[in-house]
Amino acid sequence: MFMWYEKYQGVEELIEDYLDLQDLRKAKSEEQDLPSVPLHEVIEELKKS
């Protein structure tokens, strides 16, 4: 019985990871055309804070 539960948990984690990946891909595609900020500018802004 315990082995079955471990396998269930593993499958559940895989499904959650897959759903997270789908959400990430959707968010990336929605923001694809937005302007980006170069990393060096982000670092400079963080240093000012």
Range of the domain at 26: 2-48
Tally of domains in the chain: 1
Q: Which residues of 3-16 are buried (b: 16+ CB within 10 A; e: fewer)?
A: eeeeeeeeeeeeee
Query: What does the pLDDT read at residue 47?
Result: 96
Phi-psi region of 38 (alpha: psi -120 to 50; beta: other; left: phi over 0): beta
| pLDDT digit string, tens, across residues 1-49 | 678 989 999 999 999 999 999 999 999 999 999 999 999 999 999 999 8
CA distance 7 to 14: 11
The three-state (H, E, C) secondary structure of the chain, written as one string: CHHHHHHHHHHHHHHHHHHHHHHHHHHHHHCCCCCCCCHHHHHHHHHHC
Query: Does the model's pTM come out above 0.75?
Result: no
pLDDT score at 1? 65
pLDDT for position 3: 81
